[in-house]
Amino acid sequence: MNKFVFFHSTNLIGDNSLFDKFIEQLQHIERSPFFVQQIIVPSTAISLWLKKKITQKFGICANIDFVVLTGPVIENIYRDNFPEHEIFDFEQATFILYDLLLAQINSNSESNFSIIQEYISNNNEIDIYKVYQLARQLKEVFFEYLFMRTDELLSGAIWNNDTSIIWQRPFWDQLLKHVHEIEHKILFSDIYQYFLNNTPPKLPKHLFIFALPTIFPSQLQILASLSTKLSISWYHLQISNHYYGDLLDYSTRSKLERKVLGYPNLNLEDLYLIDGNPLVANLAHQSRELTELLLSNLINFDATTCETTDCVAKNALEHIQIDIRNIVNRINPDYRLLAHQDYYADPVNLKGNDTSITVNICHTRMREVQVAFNVIAREIQNNGFSLDEILLTAPDIDQYAAYISAVFHEEYLSDPALDKKIKIPVNITGNRNSRFILVLDTIQRLFNVPYRLPVSFFGDLMANSTIMNSLALTEEDVELVKKWLNDNNIHFGYDVDDYRELNIGDADLYSLKRLVHNLTLGLCLPAQVFEDSLAQYCGNYPAAPYDNLDFASISLLEKLIMLIELTHDIRSLFYCDETNYRDISSDELKHIVIKIRDTLFSHPEDQLEIDKFIYAINVDLQLPLNLPIVNQIINDNIGIKGRLRFNGAITCTSLANVRNIPFQMIYILGLNFGESPRTFEINQMSYLARNWHAGDRNYNHEDKQIFLETILATQQKLVLSYIGRNENDNSIKEPSTSLSLLLETMKNSFIDGENYIDQITTLHSLHPFLNNKQELYSGFWSLVTGVTEEAFKDKRWDNSSQFAMSTIDHHKLQQIYVLTALQWINCLSYSNANLNRMLEINNFDNNMRFEDFEPFELLSAKIAIQLYQVFKKLDLDTLKIYHTNNKLYNHIKLLGIINNQQLGIEQYNKYYQLYISYAEYSGQDKYYFELPVGRLLIKDSFLLKNNTLYLLNPFQRINFSDKKSRLSLNLKARYVVWYSILNHKNTIFRDINNNQVNLMPDLKIVDFIYHPEAGVSESFTAQEIKISIIDPDNLFHLMEEFYINSLCSRTLLDNELINQVIAKLNQGLDESSILSDLINTISDDFTYQRFEKYERDPLWANDFNNLDDNKQCLVSVIDAARIFAQVIENE
């Protein structure tokens, strides 16, 4: 007799709920203190929730074993009867199948296996990575057969019914043989046969199944068989007490309707379809399939206990939940397809401002979490939710874990009464082990170092947080190593062999070995050695010792050498050459992992995580592996999730981990189109692809079911969030199909539903401090917003009001401004130079840029700067001597500054020729000056040569041209500044001994004309650019006012715009006309490319989107033009 007792309910908690029925029966069954009652639950979350509820009910939860999923319970019963039998871990099947596939290949069999030979071959050679991929796929396919097609697998019907997969049968048979005869273990199929054909002598008296949403058919058959010998109580949480197996989703229904419409004698009524709740119809596939599976196995539903669902909804959330449980479809009568149906209902009218369901639209994941913090803080304050009553979830919490940690661990609530900061604790759980991920990711990064290690990759490797922590490196250490790499011009490769393979010769000027050699010599050799010669020889090995080291760097150098050697060992292990991987054994893989562990990782927890990975790859079979296979093994291990735990804080975990668990407030992040629900495509290699049964796994259906269950599990407040705008251009992005369906259902369910959806939907600003119209509960962002003026807008998204930056009244600032000549020059050369300095805004990218190749450009600024640094260390006569005997060239070559081949000779000669001419105008006599005038005090130093201050373009900016260069804005600025300083009556000059001197130096701008056909000494000729100033007194006044205004106002400095305004001023145009012309110039498509950077600058973005209404932002161009209009270039 079947002893299945089946209870079902639509509520997990509450009156006459599933939990109440479970507790009621748990109290009445006979239990022994020596017997542990097993309860099958769908997840760890349900087991923890049940333990908590039982403890609250009875004060203790003892002698109860909550077992996740059905399989372990069946295995436990089997073990009780056969403790000597060991059950095979099917995850290990991949390596066995890989071994079997390789054996089949080596046997040269011409059987059915020949049909996949083409797949696993690459240029007529076997690709072992493809063989491993095939083994992984076969493992997944055989797992499906084992649990979902058990009878057909045992009878061989799978292979008989589908001849296209007949080639799989030998591998299944060999896998069985290996498990039974070599490992002496059993499979689930053996357990299945035993339970169906035998009565186990040892059985529990009672078995409970609680809220299980799905089950494999084979496991259900075992339970049905066991139910004749023991009592099984199944507590089923279902969507509705009404039968909804004949509800069809939109896709299936439309296909049927199209068919019906093809027959003139049929109409839609002939299909006998139920037009029920659209959420149940489209999202409850998994629940419907379980119902059909239970019915097909003759589970007696007549014995179920149901509670009534008649209750009055108080808000929108409850309306939706009740309609789901009664499969009611609320829709305007004009839009109903079927005339007579009990499941139709009219839309309802909501009372008041209903916010039981709200929707947040954001631009980024970080912004989603920031908004979540603000909303949760508001709900805690206003509704009094306790932390453990709140769930912050996402389809995949791993995508949000880092953002949640960053926001909730750093932001806080401010309590003015107590004058303290209050953090909101969160518990990120059930996600991938962050430490394990970091360790494995670091190992994988090391394994995948490119064959010829580029310097940029090595720099990133040094900056890897895990490596930094393991080697006890500081940020300063990493920056110092990067400086070593940059100063020594390291580009790629380990040693000379990497260059020989590229036919670059025997030099390894740019390799890591050369770096180590230079650093070691620089550390060991005395300073005198560097002064004696430019290039040193240690034995027969030329080197350029790097002298910028001290003994405090020894430890860092040792770590650097260790990391270089480790990456070289890894390359030797995995590569035959640049294009071919080397086959390695599992023992070799374990050896290199152990070496990485012992070399890099000193923390015991890191070593423990690595030991877990070593255990995962610890197989007895000696199988060939290569780097792609190792990457796949690592990826498979990285995907393993951690255990779920509740600790009283806000629970943050994936939706699937807490399905059906009731929370007062549920906040769902990441309901983005294409991400949730997951897409699912069945493996076409599987028999299931052509033979579908109810209960087969479908991740798309599972995610939809979970979303529906989450709606029902919410007790008071449901918040739904998705990335609905592109962060770059603000374009619209659609939400998840499940969320779209819910919004559509709500729109139809409520009177004036479209307006209601608008009311509950909030489009949030890109940043919490700009354009944010929401009340802020975060103490941090409230502080920031308080500092930032309300009118300061990020106009990329909102053009509703004009920009009005909070400026500083310079009359209230200090009366005397102390500055250098360079600061004055910069304020006339670069937009917002002074304002950025005052606001401490750094617009310069200070990151070192590495080049992964030797210098192939004939002329480049980097080469020019480095050569200039070498040249200027020597006086001109010594420089010429070293040039004549090639010592200078050899030294520069050893430094790696220039190309190693003929190109390097050309690079060296051109810049040497330029420097010879350039050095003639470099000042040598140093003087200091002080100029107090008006509200300025200018103090600086300068160099004179023959009582002349020569203004030259920077060495790296000189063009190799046979024509005179155009006067740059920077050179103009330098001229007007130095002209004003040197010719002002109040300027005080002092020599290097601080003695006041009388000077009347000349000021000249010198340009260089290149003559490519001339000799070395005549390749460049200097040409003075003669300048005159129209009104010197007015010039200084204009410059003083411009400088002071630029301290608190924006400036736009562009040479072409300034020249355009100068021409307009000379024509006598007024300021308004000039501003209009400037707007037209900037708005021109071709010219506008120069100004696109200002759109990304918060100080300008507002006005550049609406120049017509913000003409005043261009006044600085006119002010600058008035200054430079005083400069006349004489012919």
User: How many Cβ atoms sit within 10 Å of the Cβ of residue 181?
Assistant: 8
The residue among 605, 638, 671 that closes a domain is 638
Closest CA to 934 of 1055, 1042, 789: 1042
Q: What is the rounded distance in angstroms from the CA atom of residue 573 to the CA atom of residue 594?
A: 14
Q: What residues contact residue 203 under an 8 Å CB cut-off, 6+ apart?
A: 77, 226, 229, 230
Assign residue 156 a region (left: φ > 0; alpha: ψ between -120 and 50; beta: otherwise): left
Query: Is residue 16, in this structure, part of any structural domain at all?
Result: yes
Q: What is the rounded distance in angstroms from the CA atom of residue 228 to the CA atom of residue 517?
A: 80
User: What is the pLDDT, as a whole number, of residue 809?
Assistant: 45
| One domain for residues 611 and 725 | no
User: What is the pLDDT, as a whole number, of residue 848?
Assistant: 65
Q: H/E element holding 941?
A: strand 936-944
Query: Is residue 788, in this structure, part of any structural domain at all?
Result: no
| One domain for residues 158 and 72 | no
Low-confidence ranges of the chain (pLDDT < 70): 1-2, 31-32, 108-115, 249-250, 252-274, 298-310, 337-340, 414-419, 505-506, 525-543, 548, 770-771, 779-815, 842-848, 1014-1018, 1085-1090, 1093-1112, 1131
- Supply angle C-alpha 55, 61, 63, rounded to 5: 170
- CATH number, domain containing residue 627: 1.10.486.10
Query: Is residue 171, in this structure, part of any structural domain at all?
Result: yes
| One domain for residues 652 and 569 | no
| One domain for residues 98 and 44 | no
User: What is the pLDDT, as a whole number, of residue 1078?
Assistant: 84
Closest CA to 369 of 334, 338, 397: 397
Q: What is the rounded distance in angstroms from the CA atom of residue 1046 to the CA atom of residue 1061?
A: 19
User: How many Cβ atoms sit within 10 Å of the Cβ of residue 608?
Assistant: 14
CB 1072 within 8 A of CB 1066: no
How far from 902 is each of 319, 500, 555, 858, CA to CA, in Å? 81, 17, 39, 11
User: What is the pLDDT, as a whole number, of residue 343?
Assistant: 80
| One domain for residues 425 and 547 | no
CB 167 within 8 A of CB 112: yes
Query: Is residue 1091, in this structure, part of any structural domain at all?
Result: no
| One domain for residues 152 and 191 | no
User: What is the pLDDT, as a whole number, of residue 563?
Assistant: 94
| One domain for residues 677 and 759 | yes
Strands 925-933 and 936-944: antiparallel
Query: Is residue 294, in this structure, part of any structural domain at all?
Result: no
141-157 in b/e form (b: 16+ CB < 10 A) is bbebbbbbbbebbbeee
| One domain for residues 413 and 493 | no
Query: Is residue 772, in this structure, part of any structural domain at all?
Result: yes
For residue 922, what are its two tokens?
């470099």
| One domain for residues 163 and 231 | no
Tens digit of each residue's pLDDT (9 = 90 or more) over 591-621: 999 999 999 988 888 888 888 888 888 777 7
| One domain for residues 937 and 1001 | yes
Q: What is the rounded distance in angstroms from the CA atom of residue 679 to the CA atom of residue 673?
A: 11
Q: What is the rounded distance in angstroms from the CA atom of residue 143 to the CA atom of residue 189?
A: 11
- CATH number, domain containing residue 427: 3.40.50.300
- CATH number, domain containing residue 78: 3.40.50.10930
| One domain for residues 484 and 449 | yes
The residue among 982, 1007, 1032 that closes a domain is 1032
User: What is the pLDDT, as a whole number, of residue 1107?
Assistant: 67
User: What is the pLDDT, as a whole number, of residue 502?
Assistant: 80
DSSP assignment of 547-575 equals ----GGGHHHHHHHHHHHHHHHHHHHHHE
pTM: 0.79
User: What is the pLDDT, as a whole number, of residue 104?
Assistant: 83
Domain range enclosing 871: 822-827+843-1032
Distance of CA 617 to the CA centre of its chain: 28
Q: What is the rounded distance in angstroms from the CA atom of residue 1114 to the CA atom of residue 1118?
A: 7
User: What is the pLDDT, as a whole number, of residue 1070?
Assistant: 86
Query: Is residue 60, in this structure, part of any structural domain at all?
Result: yes
User: What is the pLDDT, as a whole number, of residue 111?
Assistant: 55
Q: H/E element holding 360?
A: strand 357-362
Strands 121-122 and 329-330: unpaired
Query: Is residue 99, in this structure, part of any structural domain at all?
Result: yes
User: What is the pLDDT, as a whole number, of residue 175?
Assistant: 95
| One domain for residues 169 and 201 | no
The residue among 638, 671, 694 that closes a domain is 638
What is the tally of structural domains in the chain? 5
Output DSSP code: residue 775: P
